[in-house]
Chain A
Amino acid sequence: MRGPTRRELLLTAAGAAAAGAIGEAIAGVAAPAARASTSSAKAPLSVPDQLQELITVEMLLLYCYQHVLASSILSPRARRTVAPFVAHEQAHIHALERELTARGGHIPSPPASPTAANHALAQRKVGGRLGQLRGDLDAIRLLLTTEQVTIGVYSAALTTIGQPTLIELLCQMMANDAQHDAMLGLLLPPGKIASAVPYGLVQGLQ
């Protein structure tokens, strides 16, 4: 069964309820805590910067898919599942590039080599390295974690981007990456649908 990673930001019903209760309590009595939190928070990225970050992580994800598919590491079943996702990630990148270009931003470059991609994976704390994957499951886990990192970048962007059409676009792509996440989860033991969608709230890895 796909094991959750500790950085995955997910809520149980208990967590959600507790969070709501805590939120209500804080809203009522703990304004100083809120101010402290606000003052210590990083300044938000500009929209172009956030689009660049999204494109960068989507390019990394695409590179990983392409690298894994170019190897002979995947089983036929896994290959059939994963292959269509390449076009999805390309479509995400193109959509984000259009948005970035319209705002005068500079389009980042994709990873130039497996070494560069591995460096980016390490920076994002993704386990597994291209070229060192030892089987089907290794590859699926790497792709799964990279999808979750990508979802996390979308989720973070949604907290600060305020333009409705862009928000909707990001939601559409974030939800699609979550679908990839579920399909990849289905390729891991025990391969059951119930274990492929194990959480009620998914915000990815941040």
Chain B
Amino acid sequence: MGAASPPLGVRPEAELEGSDTPQPGGASRTRRALLAGAGAGLAGAGALLLGGCGGTAAAGQSTTTAASPAVRAQDIAILTRALELERRTVAAYVAGIPLLPHDAAKAAQQFLSEELEHTGELISLIKASGGKPAARPNSYALGHPTDGAEVLALLHSLERLQLTTYLQAIPRLSPGPVRAGVASILTVDAQHVSMLRLQQGQTPVPSAFVTGAE
């Protein structure tokens, strides 16, 4: 399956990444926009730390020191890998939504918009760290799902991969606020996994610990 043209009503990734383009979604979206300020402050703090200095903490002691180029390069590499996965997942949602039944498609469109937020957030963090986001590939090898069930299985596998990747990556990120910021992406991907499991007739929250194996 290739990620060719997006389905009706879905904005292509390029339009939303790092932009302030409003998203569809009605009244709750409007409230979300009003709420953005508080969260933006946190993300801004994360960007600031990543861009200017690195906060490290161990055994309850927090110190703020200038991040070495090597540390920043590692953070950029981690964030770039996460962006690559998010983009792949976006492509799968875009290509798979037309194959889903109505209710599942509606949920998937919501998840797609959230994955786009994740790409925007990661791009912002990469730029704030002095890095340059990698170019988006023209297509992804996503297999050949032919019906809704296969699309849900594909989306489930990609979301799980993201969980695994984030769980490995977050402890390696240097500035604490950036860790928390990326963890805020992980939490939403974990919610996606639960909902995708539910749609596939599986126990939605099978374990007390999210590992990516679910």
Alpha-carbon gap, A27 to B62, bound state (A): 20
8 A Cβ contacts from B168-205 to A: 168, 170-172, 176-177, 179-181, 183-195, 198-199, 204-205
In the complex, chain A residues 149-190 whose Cβ is within 8 Å of any chain B Cβ: 151, 154-156, 158-165, 167-169, 171-176, 178-183
The answer to whether A160 and B111 touch (CB under 8 A), given A15-B39, A34-B48, A179-B190, is no
- In A1-60, which residues have CB < 8 Å from any B CB? 1, 3-4, 6-24, 26-28, 31, 34, 37-38, 43-50
A91: Cβ under 8 A from any B Cβ: yes
Interface pair B56/A162, CB less than 8 Å apart: yes
Of all chain B residues, the one with the shortest Cβ separation from A33 is: B48
Q: Is the CB of B184 within 8 A of A203?
A: yes
Minimal beta-carbon separation of A88 from chain B (angstroms)? 4
Q: Does A76 contact B (CB under 8 A)?
A: no
| B180 contacts A203, C-beta separation under 8 Å | yes
Report how far A91 CA is from B19 CA in the complex, Å: 41
In angstroms, how far is the closest chain A Cβ from the Cβ of B188? 5
- Contacting residue for A160 out of B62, B185, B191, CB 8 A: B62
> Given B37, B176, B194, which contacts A158 in the complex, CB threshold below 8 Å?
B176
Q: Interface residues of A, CB < 8 Å — how many?
A: 84
A193 to B196 Cα, complex, angstroms: 9
User: Which of B50, B110, B183 is in CB contact (< 8 Å) with A155?
Assistant: B183
Segment at the B interface, from A64-72, A118-126, A131-139, A194-202: A194-202
A201 near B121 with CB under 8 A, answer yes
| Of B46, B52, B210, the contact of A34 (CB 8 Å cutoff) | B52
Instruction: For the complex formed, measure the closest distance between the CB of B64 and the CB atoms of chain A, giving whole angstroms.
Output: 7
A13–B20 contact, CB under 8 A?
yes
The answer for the CA separation of A6 and B168 in the assembled complex, in Å, is 32
List CB contacts (< 8 Å) of A76-108 with chain B. Answer: 84-85, 87-89, 91-92, 95
Q: Which residues of chain B are near A161, meaning CB under 8 Å? A: 57, 176
Residue in A4, A89, A159 whose Cβ sees the most chain B Cβ within 10 Å: A159
Give the residues in chain B near A37, CB-CB below 8 Å. Answer: 45
List B contacts of A178 (CB < 8 A). Answer: 187-188, 190-191
B128 within 8 Å of A by Cβ?
Answer: yes
A-facing mask of B40-66, CB < 8 A → 1, else 0?
A: 111111111011100111111110100
Closest to B175 in A: A159
Q: Which of B31, B110, B189, B209 contacts A4 (CB 8 A)?
A: B31
A-B contact pairs, 15 of them (CB 8 A): A9-B42, A11-B36, A13-B117, A21-B124, A31-B52, A155-B180, A158-B170, A162-B176, A171-B210, A174-B183, A176-B205, A180-B205, A201-B184, A201-B185, A202-B187
- Chain B residues within 8 Å of A, Cβ to Cβ: 16, 18-23, 28-29, 31-33, 35-48, 50-52, 55-62, 64, 103, 106-107, 109-111, 113-118, 120-121, 123-125, 127-128, 163, 166-168, 170-172, 176-177, 179-181, 183-195, 198-199, 204-205, 207-211
Considering the complex of A and B, which 3 residue pairs feature the smallest CB-CB distances, nearest first?
A20-B124, A23-B47, A46-B60
